[in-house]
Structure 1
Amino acid sequence: MIRLYDNRFGEYGQEFVRTDGDKYTFSGKDMLLKEDAFKLLDEFSGVTVKELQDESHGNLIVFAREDADLAKLPFYTLVGKRDKFRLDTGNLMGVLSLRKGDTTLKVQVQSRFDTGKEQYFLNYLLSRIYDVSFTQPVSSSDDTFWDMLLAFVFLWRFSEATTVGLYKQYHRFEYNDLDFRGRLDLDRHLKRNYPLFDRIAYSRRENTFDNPFNHLLRHAAAKVEKKWPSMLESNPNARELLTLLKQNTPSWMPGDIQRTLGHKNTLSELRHPYFAEYYEPLRQVSCMLLMDEGANVFDTPENSGETEISGVLFDGAWLWEEYLATILCDRNLKGGPYLHADPSKRKNAIYAFSPKRGPLYPDFRRPVNGDASRCDIVLDAKYKRGDSIQSKDLHQVLCYMFLTGATQGGLIFPPKTDEKDSDTAENPATINIPSGKGKYTWRCFSFRQLKTDEGGEAFIKNMQAQEEALRSFAKPPKDFDKENQSKE
């Protein structure tokens, strides 16, 4: 396992130096990296997420904005040679698993804010986004990080499946009674009922909820419940579907997992026109969760020579933006909730040209009198390192302000991780416009240093205090101006 942090590149890149044979030093620690593993690492250097998805046979799950250009996003880039090299990372986090022949390599990229043993920051953001109680943080030093990511993906897919309801499938049931309806099973009939013949052994196909596919979901849910008991229970949609699932699968047994994993209905892709959109991704993540129980998520034969790829990747920019939406889109926010852009559904767009041409999607904006095309403030979420924020980010927000008539705009940053980070100053600044056009203000908000080394309770209190500060910052322009005038 190679463990990296996001947004480490150039002079901040994570360096590996060979000391002897397959031995390297990395971040002050010794590690082994065999020749075959290095070749595999080098082979996938700079490979984009889109290319990884195309080669993964559906076993790479990626969370990113719909408008993110996955064809340009590599998970990592190797710079240098075998004796000395560095690995550069960007916004992407997660776990990528590569297997070729007998060589297996896992590359884990975690949040740059989780520098301690526990994954507080990433865990907290995922908990807020998926509406679950803060789960027990996992260590970055073992495979439970991978399980945690899969558990959150399962939760998301599982709660989304409530849109179409519980999955129903034709399944053949065997009976041995006098209520004969179906196909006579002569061999079984002779074995079980001879010599009395007081019953009839038969089978019939029934469209039922009690099927192998739903049994697979129950096994996956049972694993999540065992590790993080409150995760499924605290999400209303997931709790509702899980209750229905348990009520309608009476023949499910915990010890029947191998039989379920080997059933053709759990091994093959789901193509049902009504259920496939929601349940096929759920089938895939369930199999990934149960890999240590013997589930095979790969379509390729083991010795085909083709590299097997699986994993869960999160775009940090998407994750940060979705987290901020839980705060800024709250209906109880003073001045009213912000609109959050949704490029995937083409919702809440503004347009550069008439009639409705050139759609643009500001991250967050507050409508004026319910009119989404007119706003009083525009805010953009930035997850990048402070020293990589470019003038185009500023131009983008100024453009949004111009198109919506907003008098205030700015950026929202995560905490700095280095004093060299040059985030835009938080002090409000007046935007230069022709005189007589009114006052236009640029203002930014940055989260303070996170308390990831003081335990879960201290971390949560710190995050809640900063969320309250963000709510105060997001006040309407007139309230913001009034407050600043009183300070002056």
Structure 2
Amino acid sequence: MRKVATNTSSAGPHFWYLSDNSPIEDQSFTATHLYRSLLNQTVETLLDKEGIIYLGREDDGDIDVSLNQRVIDTYQGKIRTQNLIGVLGDGTDTVSISTRFFKQNENPVHIEDDYFFAYLLEKVLHVDVAKGFNFSPLRSNRWKKLLVLLFPYFLNKALQVGAYKMYVRREYNDSRLKGTVDVARYLNIDVPFIGRVAYTTRDLDLDNPISELIRHTIEYIVAGFTIGRQLLNDDKNVRDNVRTVRLRTPRYRKTERRRIIEWNIRHPVVNEYFRSYRLLQKICVAILCHDSISASASGKGHINGILFDCSWLWEEYLNTLLRDKRYSISFVHPRNKSKTGKQYLFGKPDKYGRSSKVKGQFGLIYPDFLISSAPTVIADAKYKPIDNIAGADYLQLLAYMYRFDSRYGQYWYPESQENSKSTPFITGFELLQGINGGSQSVRFRESEQKVVLEKVGFPIPTGASTYEEYSSLMQDNENQFAKSIVSLQP
């Protein structure tokens, strides 16, 4: 871990740099309020109490697994970071947690300078990171840079759901009475009677505080950042959605920005159908506010920032890679949120005997990847280091293999690349049979009954002077990894 102090005063702000899945031994950091606020706190707790934006499996439906993770955890008496990366600050201290695969002089870098993280964002969230690395750093609240770059992705995602409508109270003063007469206002401005009546209506309107917030964010990005116009104009889908928002907000006034922000802070989106708007709303408030993401997390002592679940990014990156048509890989990637590709462990047989048609399936499961081969290959994406793939990980994969009549399973995990070797690192082992100390000694199974598990390490480059060079190295490694998957198919 490294520390950079931006102020020689002990009361000044300090910046700390960590990497994921790594021990924390710096006692000066463990003495900070920020560290104590993060230690052993779940994502769910931080989201409830602090001003944090979180991108992970919670957005993809697997809420229980995702929100129980911890930023900093204590395990067997040791303090370590976990699979979460991001930038967090409490007004006094700021910590950047980057991936363990990109360092400078063996020290963690700021997450904005982490090429591996940037590459995952580019592939999974379609963030144009080339713009990000030419992006003038903000002097404070550096996580805002990430939010600005992520804004187009979440704008597209929200508008995919459809238009956000809500009832809005409007005031009128004309001769077309169609709502409730506002007596006090009528007496104040329409007496003596001159043909107009003051009244109010409650209309279901596209031009509402949520839409206005999105519009204000668009105009703020365009006017406030050098690459703002290009960021929102290069991609056709983003460009069309920006145009749609502008058309839906004819009442937009820049002078109303503070009022719109305050309304949205007090009224978070609660409709579950519009959950993508809920995250976009939070991101917009964070971009437009100068100090905090939420009203409840303003001022010193409260934590603000952004967190990413690297295990989610890693799994979705592999999904994107396997879907590349160049490789022609046939596979199923069950998705919890969309309920696509769902599988079951059990089925209830017909009470009169075994039925040819399965009914009453239960025991819902979502294996990461099912590779079409003879037999099916079960693959489990793991972001954790190779030595941490153990215990329950083995039991889960073996259960899936038994369910799908497979004798071949793989764990796909990231591994730091050694020299220029671009082929995957493969560690294989076989399931034993027999009982230690029993009548049948422990031995390997016969070849036709052999059950094989492999840990397949995807080589992650560690040395690159530019992002373009890094991307080229990753693409070479992707080709080698995809070839190893293709070889599993008949």
The alignment status of 1:220 with 2:217, answered yes or no, reads: yes
The corresponding residue for 2:19 is 5
- In structure 1, C-alpha distance between the alignment counterparts of 2:229 and 2:414, rounded to whole Å: 30
Contact 1:215–1:249 (CA<8 Å) still a contact in 2? yes
CA distance in 2, matches of 1:364, 1:414: 16
Q: Distance between the aligned counterparts of 1:214 and 1:382, measured in 2? A: 39
**CA 1:141 to 1:194, structure 2 compared with 1: closer, same or farther past 3 Å?**
closer
Report percent identity of matched pairs.
25
Q: Does 1:426 align with 2:426?
A: yes
Q: Quote the residue 2:96 is aligned against.
A: 108
Asked if the contact 1:120/1:137 (under 8 Å) is kept, the reply is no
Contact 1:169 1:207 in 2 (8 A): yes
2:40 maps to 1:46: yes
Deviation of residue 216 (structure 1)?
0.6
- What is residue 72 of structure 2 aligned with on the other side? 76
Opposite residue 291 of structure 1, the aligned amino acid is C
Q: Report the TM-score, using the length of structure 1 for normalisation.
A: 0.72
Superposed, 1:404-483 pairs within 5 Å as: 404-416=404-416, 425-426=425-426, 434-435=445-446, 437=448, 442-450=453-461, 453-477=464-488
- Residue number in structure 2 paired with 1:277: 275
Match of 2:371 in 1: 366
Question: For residues 88 and 253 of structure 1, do their structure 2 counterparts lie closer, same or farther at Cα, with a shift above 3 Å needed?
Answer: same
**Quick one: which amino acid aligns to residue 361 of structure 1?**
Y
Q: Which of 204, 208, 211 is matched with 1:211 structurally?
A: 208
Distance 2:187 2:367 in 1: 72
User: Using a 3 Å threshold, how does the CA distance of structure 1 residues 124 and 229 change in structure 2: closer, same or farther?
Assistant: farther
Residue 91 of structure 1 corresponds to: 83
Distance 1:145 1:375 in 2: 49
**Aligned residue runs from structure 1 range 320-339, under 5 A:** 320-330=314-324, 333-336=327-330, 338-339=331-332
Rounded Cα–Cα distance in structure 2 between residues aligned with 1:275 and 1:343: 16
Label 1:255 to 1:86 Cα distance change in 2 as closer, same or farther (>3 A): farther
Q: Is the 8 A contact 2:128 2:149 kept in 1?
A: no
Matched AA of 1:115: K
Tell me how far 1:473 sits from its aligned partner: 1.6
Using the alignment, how far apart are the partners of 1:478 and 1:360 within structure 2?
A: 23
Change in CA separation of 1:426 and 1:392 when aligned onto 2, cut-off 3 Å: same
Give 1:136 deviation, angstroms: 2.5
Relative distance call for 1:266 and 1:214 in structure 2 (3 A) is: farther
Q: Tell me the alpha carbon deviations over residues 279-325 of structure 1, each in whole angstroms, 9 at most, x when there is no partner.
A: 33332222122221x7761237969xxx6344322221111111111
Report if aligned partners of 1:135, 1:228 keep a CA contact under 8 Å in 2: no
Letter in 2 for 1:448: P
C-alpha distance in 2 between matches for 1:233 and 1:2: 35
Equivalent residue for 2:122?
127
Cα RMSD after superposing both structures? 4.3
Closer, same or farther: CA 4–142 of 1 in aligned 2, 3 Å: farther
Q: Secondary structure at the match of 1:477?
A: coil
Deviation at 1:474, TM superposition (A): 1.3
In the TM superposition, residue 352 of structure 1 has moved relative to its aligned partner by 4.0
Q: Deviations over 1:253-294 (max 9, x none)?
A: 3454223223x35632334x57653433332222122221x7
Cα displacement string for residues 130-162 of structure 1 (whole angstroms, at most 9, x for unaligned residues): 234444345999657512443466445433323
Provide the rounded CA distance (Å) in 1 between the counterparts of 2:397 and 2:272: 41
CA distance in 2, matches of 1:363, 1:142: 40
* 1:63 partnered with 2:56: yes
Cα distance in structure 2, aligned partners of 1:450 and 1:228: 31
Q: Is the 1:94–1:149 Cα contact (8 Å) retained in structure 2?
A: no
User: Does the C-alpha gap of structure 1 residues 410 and 312 become closer, same or farther in structure 2, counting only changes over 3 Å?
Assistant: same
Report how far residue 458 of structure 1 moved: 1.0
1:406-446 per-position Cα deviation (integer Å, ceiling 9, x unaligned)? 35332222132899xxxx95276777764362676555543
The letter for the 1-side match of 2:125 is Y
Alpha-carbon offset, residue 94 of structure 1: 1.4
Q: Secondary structure at the match of 2:32?
A: helix
Structure 2 CA distance for partners of 1:119 and 1:167, relative to 1, 3 Å: same
Distance (Å, rounded) in 2 between the aligned partners of 1:184 and 1:460: 64
CA distance in 2, matches of 1:154, 1:451: 29
Residue 104 of structure 1: how far off its partner (Å) = 3.8
Alignment length (residue pairs): 434
User: What do residues 78-135 of structure 1 show as CA deviations (whole Å, max 9, x unaligned)?
Assistant: 89xxxxx99621111113344xxxx644332111223246232212212211234444
In 2, Cα distance between equivalents of 1:157 and 1:437: 50
2:263 matched to 1:267?
no
SS in 2 for 1:447: strand
Deviations 1:192-215 (A, max 9, x none): 999996987766443322223211
Q: Distance in 2 between matches of 1:468 and 1:3?
A: 32
3-state SS of paired residue (1:463): helix
CA contact (8 A) 1:129 1:322 kept: yes
Question: Are the equivalent residues in 2 in contact too, given 1:335–1:476 (CA < 8 A)?
Answer: no
SS at structure 1 position matched to 2:411: strand
Of 295, 298, 302, 1:308 maps to: 302
Aligned to 1:384: 384
8 Å Cα contact 1:131-1:235 kept in structure 2: no
**Local SS of the residue matching 1:218:** helix
Cα pair 2:144 2:286 within 8 Å, conserved:
no
Q: Residues 141 and 411 from structure 1, CA distance in 2 versus in 1: closer, same or farther, beyond 3 angstroms?
A: farther
Partner Cα separation in structure 2 for residue 222 and residue 150 of structure 1 = 15
Q: Secondary structure at the match of 1:471?
A: helix
CA contact (8 A) 1:216 1:266 kept: no
- Within a 5 Å distance, the mapping from 1:10-49 to structure 2 comes to 13-16=24-27, 38-49=32-43
Q: Secondary structure of the equivalent of 1:406?
A: coil
Matched, 1:161 2:158: yes
